[in-house]
């Protein structure tokens, strides 16, 4: 999780941290880390609690992850996450990544210019 949130790690190096990650998701991973940096959330700290084997028989592990941000307004939040084993390590499952990271979401559009005032008769 720390590597996923780190803006110093290129998105192209992060796709292997996500189950079935693709090169096309690298830009979304870069946007995620940049947003954390830009809103003052970094560094993040993570605490995993209630680790258990997933009930779906996949060999995955589920955990309640407590994320603490450096931004006092964001503070701390808890999120259920699932991790899949991969080559002697762990990856964030595709489902958890899709819920948490919104990798395929394009950046929000710029707000429209203010409307001109309507003349009064």
**CATH number, domain with residue 54:** 3.10.450
Asked if 32 contacts 101 with a C-beta cutoff of 8 angstroms, the reply is yes
Q: pLDDT tens digits for 9-56?
A: 999 999 999 999 999 999 999 999 999 999 999 999 999 999 999 998
**Considering only CA atoms, which of 38, 49, 39, 34 is closest in space to residue 4?**
34
| Whether the predicted pLDDT of 114 surpasses 90 | no
Apex CA 103: angle with CA 9 and CA 16, to 5°?
Answer: 50
DSSP state of 18: B
> What whole-number distance in Å separates Cα of residue 103 and Cα of residue 40?
20
Residue 69 belongs to what domain range? 2-101
Judge whether 116 lies within some domain: no
Q: Is residue 111 part of a domain?
A: no
Domain count, the chain: 1
Give the confidence band of 116 by pLDDT, cuts at 50, 70, 90: low
Mean pLDDT of the residues in the chain: 89
Question: 117 in a domain, yes or no?
Answer: no
Cβ(84)–Cβ(56) under 8 Å? no
pLDDT digits (tens, 9 = 90+) for 46-102: 999 999 999 988 899 999 999 999 988 888 999 999 999 999 999 999 999 999 887
* Closest to 107 (Cα-Cα) out of 16, 34, 23, 20: 34
Task: Tell me how far CA of residue 25 lies from CA of 11, 68, 94, 109, 110, in angstroms.
Answer: 8, 25, 12, 19, 22
């Amino acid at each position: 999780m720390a590597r996923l949130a780190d803006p110093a790690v290129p998105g192209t190096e992060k796709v292997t941290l996500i189950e079935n990650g693709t090169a096309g998701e690298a830009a979304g991973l870069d946007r995620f880390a940049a947003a954390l940096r830009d809103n003052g959330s970094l560094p993040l700290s993570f605490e995993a609690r209630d680790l258990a084997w997933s009930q779906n028989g996949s060999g995955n592990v589920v955990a309640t992850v407590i994320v603490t941000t450096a931004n006092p307004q964001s503070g701390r939040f808890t999120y259920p996450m699932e991790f899949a084993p991969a080559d002697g390590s762990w990856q964030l499952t595709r489902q958890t990544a899709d819920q948490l990271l919104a990798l395929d979401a394009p950046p929000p559009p710029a707000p429209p210019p203010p409307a001109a005032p309507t003349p009064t008769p």
